[in-house]
């Protein structure tokens, strides 16, 4: 039996557990407020991780942190031991749990994600790629073990989470042969692959950790603004992914596979196709002997306007005005580029059809 409360009252095993735990400004401490015999007593206790032993794991804390950040955090079990309550709350108000994460792939997504994870306080334990030339530089940059070669040739190290950062066509085949530990949590970073891709591996837990952003070498990404789209096969694993996502970004969204496929198509139009059209414009300016930066103010205003208004409602140009003579002249100018000429015609038709469907 131990002493409890500010008045030194004794408390037996059958006595009521803490009623509430309120974080204090001091990191690593919480006030536990309880009622005993009609009086309030306050006990201050520093969490002792050694005292808690195996009662609390990094995944438990990650789950708690994810729930604590949600709009409707669940009530904590009042019957938890005092030191366990203290650990939960002190970690929630101090720093997120550092997860051990292995990256499967060393391409553009992994190259941006690895340093971001490390900066957020997580441990990137391993980086795998088919070639050592890809795996070794990224692994060295984040202090991880580099693995390369065919998947069955090596055992994966232990990790709290395995992030599958591979092209959509390659991911399912690699996933099928990965020597993953039984029960491992694996999340892919694809916008196109469904969660069902993990159905072929009932021995592991599957999830999705999709960053909605374009990644290119040499570019610095502001991860705080990147929407992170999550999905998992169960609530506990979703909580782990949510806790991780919140250490990187302020925009964390649960998106089901069907929604994510539509989101990915929209992203292709907004980013990939737009970039291709800018490439065509750049090439046409070069042919005319004009600098590419002449279009910069136009591009910025177009994007800003489209982000602030319904894009179809602010469409401009000869297609929406139906300037037939201008459209015909442009077609003649593009005669040397049949592919671009056809694309111009298709986009013109699409703009005019959409304009016709717009309400007056």
Exposed/middle/buried for 106, CB within 10 Å: 0-12, 13-18, 19+?
buried
The whole-angstrom separation of Cα 117 and Cα 162 is 13
131: pLDDT strictly greater than 50: yes
pLDDT at 235: 86
Q: Where residue 151 falls among pLDDT bands split at 50, 70, 90? A: low
Helix (H, G, I), strand (E, B) or coil at 69: helix
The whole-angstrom separation of Cα 339 and Cα 283 is 13
For the ranges 22-31, 62-71, 289-298, 329-338, which has the lowest average pLDDT?
A: 22-31
Q: In this structure, which topology does domain 100-255 adopt according to CATH?
A: Rossmann fold (3.40.50)
pLDDT at 261: 97
* Segment 46-53 mean pLDDT: 35
The whole-angstrom separation of Cα 294 and Cα 319 is 22
The CATH classification of domain 257-308, taken from the options 3.60.150.10, 3.30.365.10, 1.10.1040.20, 3.10.20.30:
1.10.1040.20
The whole-angstrom separation of Cα 78 and Cα 85 is 9
Helix (H, G, I), strand (E, B) or coil at 331: helix
Please name the residues in contact with 180: beta carbons below 8 A apart, sequence gap of 6 or more. 156, 162, 186, 201, 203, 204
pLDDT at 177: 87
pLDDT at 54: 35
The whole-angstrom separation of Cα 240 and Cα 295 is 45
Q: Which of 170, 25, 165, 156 is nearest to 100 (CA)?
A: 156
The percent of residues above 70 in pLDDT, for the chain, comes to: 72
* Residues linked to residue 273 through DSSP beta bridges, in sequence order: none
Q: Yes or no: say if 104 and 67 are a contact pair by the CB < 8 Å rule.
A: no
The percent of residues above 90 in pLDDT, for the chain, comes to: 64
pLDDT at 25: 27
* Segment 295-312 mean pLDDT: 97
**Residue whose pair of structure tokens reads 């506990």 in the numeric block:** 236
* Residues linked to residue 129 through DSSP beta bridges, in sequence order: 148
* Residues linked to residue 2 through DSSP beta bridges, in sequence order: 11
* Segment 263-274 mean pLDDT: 98
What's the residue count for the chain?
360
240: pLDDT strictly greater than 80: yes
CA angle 282, 301, 347 (to 5 degrees): 55
Q: Where residue 36 falls among pLDDT bands split at 50, 70, 90? A: very low
């Amino acid at each position: 039996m131990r002493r409890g409360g500010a008045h030194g009252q004794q408390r037996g095993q059958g006595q009521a557990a803490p009623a509430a735990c309120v974080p204090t400004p001091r990191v690593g401490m919480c006030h536990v407020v309880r009622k005993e015999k009609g009086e309030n007593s306050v006990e201050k206790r520093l969490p002792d991780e050694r005292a808690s032993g195996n009662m609390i794991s990094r995944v438990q804390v990650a789950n708690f942190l994810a729930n604590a950040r949600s709009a409707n955090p669940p009530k904590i079990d009042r019957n938890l031991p005092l030191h366990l309550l203290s650990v939960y709350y002190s970690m929630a108000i101090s720093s997120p749990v550092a997860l051990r994460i292995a990256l499967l792939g060393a391409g553009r997504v992994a190259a941006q994600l690895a340093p971001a994870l490390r900066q957020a306080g997580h441990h990137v334990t391993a980086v795998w790629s088919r070639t050592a030339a890809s795996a070794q530089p990224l692994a060295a940059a984040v202090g991880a073990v580099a693995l390369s070669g065919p998947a069955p040739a090596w055992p994966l190290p232990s990790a709290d989470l395995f992030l599958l950062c591979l092209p959509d066509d390659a991911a399912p085949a690699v996933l099928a042969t990965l020597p993953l530990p039984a029960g491992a949590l694996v999340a892919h970073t694809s916008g196109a692959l469904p969660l069902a891709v993990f159905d072929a591996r009932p021995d592991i837990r599957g999830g999705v950790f999709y960053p909605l952003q374009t990644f290119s070498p040499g570019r610095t990404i502001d991860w705080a603004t990147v929407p992170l789209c999550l999905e998992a096969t169960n609530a506990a694993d979703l909580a782990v992914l949510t806790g991780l996502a919140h250490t990187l970004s302020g925009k964390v969204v649960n998106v089901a596979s069907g929604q994510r496929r539509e989101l990915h198509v929209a992203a292709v139009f907004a980013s990939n196709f737009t970039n291709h059209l800018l490439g065509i414009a750049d090439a046409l300016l070069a042919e005319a002997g004009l600098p590419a930066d002449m279009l910069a103010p136009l591009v910025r205003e177009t994007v800003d306007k489209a982000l602030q208004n319904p894009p179809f409602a602010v469409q401009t140009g000869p297609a929406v005005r139906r300037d037939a003579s201008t459209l015909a002249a442009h077609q003649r100018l593009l005669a040397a580029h049949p592919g671009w000429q056809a694309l111009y015609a298709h986009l013109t038709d699409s703009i005019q059809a959409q304009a016709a469907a717009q309400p007056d």
